[in-house]
Structure 1
Amino acid sequence: MKICAVEIKNHEAIVVLASMEQGMMAIHDCRVTAISIPVTHTSEDLEIFQTKFAKLMEDYQVENVVIGERISKGKLAAPGLSFKLEAAIQLITALNVNVLSFEDRKASLKRNPLKMKAKDVGLKPFQEDTFTTAFAFLNMK
């Protein structure tokens, strides 16, 4: 099963395509590392973001998306725009979208510790959290 892990930071969705093959996590090449939206966005910008994301998933034949949970309250709360981006992804009817909670991520990583970093598999440093989300989700099953 190929998944697209997503970490939403500020005004962009950082993506990593991954799958579990014979008990090993495989990272798949992707033409983009993130899809962004202008900070001063309009409803048209959200529609464009949603269309770009849906097209990317269609092109890479991804049906399952996992989004890393963000903090919604307190000093470290994620900006409101990030929740709009999450909703735009969740409303793509062709996708099965899951939100990976902090607790589930932590439990999965405790059972199956991650022994490498994103850069070890050719990803960019800013994709580290997304890579960890993918690993945790794929090892939950």
Structure 2
Amino acid sequence: MKICGIELKASDAILVVLETDEERFHHVNLKEKKISLGDGDVNTDVLSFKEAIDTFVIDNQIEKIFIKKRGKIGRFAGGANTFKMEGLIQLSTVGEVKLISPQTTAAMQKKNKIELPTTLNAYQHDAYLTAVTGMHFKV
């Protein structure tokens, strides 16, 4: 099974794909590491982002998506584009999309020693940990 961890930052959906057999997993080092939303106020840009997400999911045979949950209010609140992107991803063609809170990821990291693959870029670390948390807790 392939799963995808996503962190939403500014106008980017940062992507990490893991292949798993329920007990073990490994990072699938794909060429496409993020999908960007152009102008969130322009309908064609929003539709283009949705199509790019759907194509990514289908082409890579993703069965589950885990998105790092963003704050709705306060200092760490997500921007308008991240909420738009989250909604579009939730409408993707994949069967299951779950939100993972940063607190859940931190708790998982505290209990388990998670080593980051050398194939990851630094900006993909949170997306990777989100995917591992989703898979580990089977949320």
TM-score of the aligned structures, taking structure 1 as reference length: 0.87
Name the residue aligned to 1:89: 89
Runs (5+) with no aligned partner, structure 1: none
Amino acid at match of 1:131: Y
SS of the equivalent of 1:3 reads strand
SS of the equivalent of 2:71 reads coil
Alignment of 1:114-133 (within 5 A): 114=114, 116-118=115-117, 120=118, 122-133=119-130
Is this contact kept in 2: 1:112–1:139, CA < 8 A?
Answer: no
The alpha-carbon deviation at position 40 of structure 1 amounts to 5.4
Distance 1:40 1:53 in 2: 15
Q: Number of paired residues?
A: 138
Amino acid at match of 1:117: L
**124-133 or 21-30, which deviates more:** 21-30
Alignment of 1:105-116 (within 5 A): 105-114=105-114, 116=115
SS of the equivalent of 1:63 reads strand
Q: State the superposition RMSD in angstroms.
A: 1.8
Is this contact kept in 1: 2:54–2:93, CA < 8 A?
Answer: no
Distance 2:102 2:75 in 1: 17
Runs (5+) with no aligned partner, structure 2: none
What's the % identity of the aligned pairs? 28
SS of the equivalent of 2:62 reads coil
* 1:98-140 deviations in Å (ceiling 9; x for gaps): 11123322332233231x234x2x1111111111111222211
1:56 aligns with 2:53: no
